[in-house]
């Protein structure tokens, strides 16, 4: 028996697999958002600036972005169930490390282990969406992934706010432990046995290591540069190492017949422009998502419960509308939703830049809801569109690349927007800790950072506009 929607038909097995994927995306979104709610309080506890405490998020996001392509290769070889179960178990281990952490470095170590587990889960999720869904159902499929992620993002701040009000940061990590264990059980029971591709290509481990090193060094430079001169050896040496690793990665990828990452797909204009638009969009979104709890805490003097409740609004709207816009994009075309959503985001970031907390909470709440509408309008259609314009032989890899770029972009967004905000709020070149920032200085720094986001969204709108609606048959 199959369950049908107009133009889509899913078997019970496909639906059970999608439920497992939904759960994995949920715990990933939940984990990130519940921690984000706690970041201002962690910063105050350690007397840290906004940039330093951001490494709790960066450690997780960077690990996901750096390893997801590696795990995605193994997923495309057919090791879906083994990877999914292993990733779930590793995620649980990471949570246990965070619960047992007695220092800030140990907490970051736990986040790295969590990131590796999440990378396994998400690499499988992207391959499953390509393998299990028909072409005309991918917008809905990626919409379901978006819904799972954003329901997790929505619930995290609310629960995090209540848990923080108890005065224990440990509860933030304990909250996700039952869900992670449930993900292990779901994977064991619902995922079908692996069907391994016996003619799989040779794995390019050298290329994978070069790309991972480039990511780590690049983010470190972005985070460190606002605090030190380029002539400083702590910045100059990583810059040179980044350049060497990245150039070597490009050279190796172009030379090998079976590279870790096939750079030749960028010869397809639609692939290049869609991926570029996706990266810029996620950089802006990741940066805004990181700064919002600091804004709410500083400007509205919100406690953890109010902060978490406000952060619920945007992802809740995205969760409700994500599947709908994904389905509509399958029937009416993906391009129109990408263009309209990006235009509305330009308006949103201008609104954010002009926002005055003296207006009260109602305008701010409306902005958060409006932001949720915009992102739900873009995310599913954009992911489905990227796969549509890619040759069939590269679709699974491209889907994994899209997820990797999403997390790398979130890393870059956190690092770039944190660096911009730190630069805009510095006094005579001296970095000011979050707890010492006045409301006026914070508001001006936030407004200037949001204007940068607006400029980025103008570029995204242009990129979506120039990419014509291309069907899969034309891309092959």
Average pLDDT over every residue of 331-355: 88
C-alpha gyration radius of the chain: 21
H-state helical runs in 225-268: 233-255
pLDDT of residue 39: 77
Residue 443 CB coordination number (10 Å): 18
Q: Which residue has the higher pLDDT, 55 or 243?
A: 243
Query: What is the model's pLDDT at position 225?
Result: 67
* Of the candidate ranges 78-82, 354-358, 398-402, the one whose mean pLDDT is the lowest: 398-402
> 42 falls in which pLDDT band (50, 70, 90)?
confident
| Residue-level pLDDT at 211 | 80
Kindly tell me the number of DSSP H helices and DSSP E strands found in the chain: 17, 2
Which span out of 292-306, 335-349, 392-406 was modeled with the highest average pLDDT?
335-349
Higher-pLDDT residue of 186, 41: 186
Lowest pLDDT segment from 18-27, 155-164, 454-463: 155-164
Q: Please answer whether residues 467 and 270 qualify as being in contact, where contact means their C-beta atoms are separated by less than 8 angstroms.
A: yes
Contact 126, 72 (CB under 8 A): yes
Three-class DSSP labels, 299-343? HCCCCHHHHHHHHHHHHHHHHHHHHHHHHHHHHHCCHHHHHHHHH
Q: What is the dihedral of CA 236, 237, 243, 246, to 10 degrees?
A: -140
Residue 257 pLDDT greater than 50, yes or no: yes
Instruction: State how far the alpha carbon of 139 is from the alpha carbons of 8, 133, 145, 313, in Å.
Output: 11, 10, 10, 24
What is the per-residue pLDDT for 4? 41
In a 10 Å sphere around its CB, with 0-12 CB exposed, 13-18 middle and 19+ buried, how is residue 16 labelled?
middle
Cβ(414)–Cβ(54) under 8 Å? yes
pLDDT band at 233 (very low <50, low <70, confident <90, very high): confident
C-beta contacts of 423-430 below 8 A and 24+ residues apart: 423/226, 424/448, 424/449, 426/226
CB-facing half-sphere around the CA of 166: CA atoms within 13 A: 9
Mean pLDDT of 389-406: 69
Would you state the pLDDT for residue 107?
82
The continuous run of DSSP H or E covering 4 comes out as: strand 2-5
pLDDT in tens, 316-329: 788 778 777 877 87
pTM, two decimals, is 0.68
Mean pLDDT of 436-457: 88
């Amino acid at each position: 028996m199959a369950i049908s929607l107009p133009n889509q038909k899913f078997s019970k097995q496909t639906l059970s697999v999608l439920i497992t994927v939904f759960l994995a995306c949920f715990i990933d979104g939940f984990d990130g958002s519940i921690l984000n709610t706690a970041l201002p309080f962690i910063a105050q506890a350690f007397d840290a600036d906004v940039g330093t405490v951001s490494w709790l998020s960066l450690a997780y996001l960077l690990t996901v972005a750096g390893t997801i392509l590696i795990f995605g290769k193994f997923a495309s070889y057919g090791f879906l169930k083994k990877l999914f179960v292993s990733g779930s178990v590793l995620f649980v281990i990471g949570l246990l490390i965070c619960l047992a952490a007695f220092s800030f470095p140990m907490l970051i170590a736990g986040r790295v282990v969590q990131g590796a587990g999440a990378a396994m889960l998400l690499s499988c999720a992207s391959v499953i969406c390509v393998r299990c869904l028909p072409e005309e159902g991918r917008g809905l499929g990626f919409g379901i992934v978006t819904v799972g992620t954003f329901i997790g993002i929505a619930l995290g701040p609310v629960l995090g706010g209540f848990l923080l009000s108890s005065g224990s940061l440990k509860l933030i990590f304990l909250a996700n432990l039952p869900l992670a264990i449930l993900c292990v059980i779901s994977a064991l029971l619902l995922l079908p046995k692996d069907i391994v591709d016996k003619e799989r290509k040779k794995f390019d481990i050298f290329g994978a290591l070069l790309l991972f090193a480039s990511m780590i060094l690049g983010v470190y430079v972005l985070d460190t540069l606002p605090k030190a001169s380029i002539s400083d050896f702590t910045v100059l040496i990583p810059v040179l190492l980044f350049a060497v690793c990245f150039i070597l990665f490009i050279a190796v990828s172009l030379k090998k017949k079976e590279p870790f990452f096939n750079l030749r797909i960028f010869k397809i204009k639609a692939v290049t422009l869609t991926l570029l638009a996706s990266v810029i969009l996620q950089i802006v979104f990741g940066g805004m998502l990181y700064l919002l709890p600091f804004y709410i805490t500083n400007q509205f003097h919100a406690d953890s419960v109010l902060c978490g409740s406000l952060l619920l609004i945007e992802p809740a709207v995205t969760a409700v509308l994500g599947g709908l816009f994904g389905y509509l994009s399958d029937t009416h075309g993906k391009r129109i939703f990408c263009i309209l959503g990006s235009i509305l985001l330009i308006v949103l970031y201008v609104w954010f830049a002009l926002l005055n907390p003296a207006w009260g909470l109602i305008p701010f709440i409306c902005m958060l809801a409006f932001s949720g509408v915009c992102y739900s309008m873009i995310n599913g259609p954009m992911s489905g569109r990227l796969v549509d314009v890619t040759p069939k032989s590269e679709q699974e890899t491209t889907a994994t690349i899209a997820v990797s770029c999403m997390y790398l972009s979130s890393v870059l967004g956190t690092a770039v927007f944190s660096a911009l905000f730190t630069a805009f709020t510095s006094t005579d070149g001296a970095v000011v800790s979050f707890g010492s920032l006045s409301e006026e200085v914070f508001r001006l720094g936030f407004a200037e950072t949001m204007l940068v986001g607006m400029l980025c969204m103008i570029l995204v709108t242009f990129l979506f506009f120039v990419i014509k609606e291309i069907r899969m048959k034309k891309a092959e």
